[in-house]
């Protein structure tokens, strides 16, 4: 995911805990704002940044479905690695199979669309909106992008080049454990007009 995020001045990482993507992207940006809904999860980001010696990450407790006018149109890139079912990492977390039902995926889809709709307002003209999940379900991936409707919000979907093998979909790339490595995940990259 971090390889797909282009360099720039400001990155907003909207669902950032535990902070790995913010830390990895910190060398590509002058400022990184890492947002997390819950304080205890925000503290994980702070701890990770401290352990890695990263100084340009500012952690904020924020709901990514709620507009923050401080971020309006300022970001070169906005990364939305949204809450999802997690079925792409089921090998690492086998309890996912026991604790998820189909209605969870429907509810998560609605949250994912709400996050994209809100966070798309933070991208400046010419900037990028990157959406990702660790899901293998179309409802959380291409169908979320379709429901968001990039063109309606002033975005074009970009071609993605990745060193990992994946399956190109209508809007992004679906990575699967048996062809991409040890996990399944999805990414879509969009550029604002």
Q: One digit per residue, pLDDT tens: the chain, 193 residues?
A: 999 999 999 999 999 999 999 999 999 999 999 999 999 999 999 999 999 999 999 999 999 999 999 999 999 999 999 999 999 998 888 898 888 888 999 999 999 999 999 999 999 999 999 999 999 999 999 999 999 999 999 999 999 989 899 999 999 999 999 898 889 999 999 999 9
Question: What positions carry a catalytic annotation?
Answer: 134
Among all chains, which residue has been given the structure tokens 């990263």?
A: 54
Are the C-beta atoms of residues 130 and 157 closer than 8 Å to each other?
A: no
Please tell me the predicted confidence (pLDDT) of residue 105. 92
Task: State the pLDDT at residue 97.
Answer: 86
DSSP run (H or E) holding 23? helix 20-25
Helix (H, G, I), strand (E, B) or coil at 26: coil
Predicted pLDDT of residue 100 = 87
Convert the pLDDT of each residue in 168-185 to its tens digit.
Answer: 999 999 999 989 888 999
CB 54 within 8 A of CB 103: no
Q: Output the 3-class SS for 36-104.
A: ECCHHHHHHHHHHHHHHCCCCEEEEECCCCCCCHHHCCCEEEEEEECCCCCHHHCCCCCCHHHHCCHHH
pLDDT value of residue 94: 87
Q: Which residues pair with 19 in a beta bridge?
A: none
Q: Is residue 8 helix, strand or coil?
A: strand
pLDDT value, residue 37? 96
CA distance 115 to 35: 12
Q: What is the pLDDT of residue 102?
A: 87
pLDDT of the residue at 167? 96
What pLDDT is recorded for position 181? Answer: 83
């Amino acid at each position: 995911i971090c390889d797909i995020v282009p360099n720039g001045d400001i990155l907003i990482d909207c669902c950032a805990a535990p902070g790995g993507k913010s830390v990895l992207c910190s060398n590509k940006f002058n400022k990184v704002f890492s947002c997390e809904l819950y304080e205890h999860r925000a503290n994980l980001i702070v701890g990770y940044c401290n352990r890695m010696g990263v100084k340009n990450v500012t952690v904020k407790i924020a709901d990514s479905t709620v507009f923050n006018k401080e971020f309006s149109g300022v970001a070169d890139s906005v990364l939305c690695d949204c809450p999802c079912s997690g079925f792409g990492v089921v090998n690492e977390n086998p309890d996912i199979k026991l604790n998820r039902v189909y209605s969870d995926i429907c509810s998560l889809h609605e949250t994912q669309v709400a996050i994209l709709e809100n966070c798309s307002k933070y991208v400046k003209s010419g900037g990028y909106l990157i959406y990702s999940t660790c899901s293998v379900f179309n409802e959380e991936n291409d169908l979320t992008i379709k429901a968001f409707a990039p063109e309606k919000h002033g975005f074009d979907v970009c071609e993605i080049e990745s060193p990992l093998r994946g399956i190109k979909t209508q809007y992004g790339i679906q990575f699967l454990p048996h062809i991409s490595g040890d996990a399944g995940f999805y990414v879509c990259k969009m550029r604002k007009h």
